[in-house]
């Protein structure tokens, strides 16, 4: 009679698959296409350093999604995040396969700080150095190539 419980136990144990280990790298997904909604200029004094095409994230949903799942970001493009008021901001790279520069701007559109070469898929927060109303994300290295420094400004227009 003890054979039946042992067989039943063996059946139960063999029939239950081992939990799978999570993949170390996220599975590839289709990249979200870039939708040009305006232009943004980087300005120092009276000089325009460069003008890029931008997507605009001005709703909670769009700000939450940001550049997630973007395997391609066209040259001279970025995303402008617009917040209702200037507050301390924290960004992270969850579901973002490309390294980015994250630029934090005050309510007067003046650059406060840049988090350069962020780590793809990282859940670590990068923070603004003060109350921020605008954030610009561009491909990693872009800020350095332009030579951006705190005090530079942005101007932007919506299409």
Averaged pLDDT for residues 114-142: 97
Residue 76 Ramachandran class (φ > 0 left, ψ -120 to 50 alpha, else beta): left
Averaged pLDDT for residues 111-122: 98
Domain assignment present for residue 17? The answer is: no
105 is in which domain, residue-wise? Answer: 34-158
Asked whether residue 115 carries a pLDDT value surpassing 50, the answer given is yes
Domain assignment present for residue 151? The answer is: yes
Which helix or strand (DSSP H or E) is residue 63 part of? helix 60-65
Domain assignment present for residue 5? The answer is: no
Predicted TM-score (pTM) of this structure: 0.80
Residue 17 pLDDT: 42
pLDDT tens for 60-94 read 999 999 999 888 888 899 999 999 999 999 999 99
Q: Residue 125 sits in a domain of what CATH number?
A: 2.60.120.1140
Q: Report the percent of the chain where pLDDT is more than 70.
A: 81
Residue 34 pLDDT: 82
Domain assignment present for residue 12? The answer is: no
């Amino acid at each position: 009679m003890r054979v039946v419980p042992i067989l039943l136990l063996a059946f139960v144990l063999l029939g239950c698959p081992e939990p799978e280990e999570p993949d170390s790298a996220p599975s590839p997904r289709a990249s979200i296409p870039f939708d040009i909604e305006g232009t943004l200029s980087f300005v120092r004094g009276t000089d325009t350093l460069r003008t890029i095409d931008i997507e605009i994230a001005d709703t909670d949903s769009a700000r939450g999604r940001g550049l997630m799942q973007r395997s391609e970001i066209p040259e001279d493009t970025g995303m402008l995040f617009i917040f209702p008021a200037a507050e301390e901001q924290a960004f992270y790279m969850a579901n973002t396969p490309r390294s980015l520069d994250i630029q934090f701007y005050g309510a007067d559109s003046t650059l406060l700080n840049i988090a350069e070469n962020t780590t793809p898929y990282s859940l670590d927060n990068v923070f603004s150095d003060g109350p921020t109303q605008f954030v610009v994300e561009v491909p990693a290295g872009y800020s350095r190539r332009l030579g951006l420094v705190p005090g530079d400004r942005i101007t932007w227009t919506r299409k």
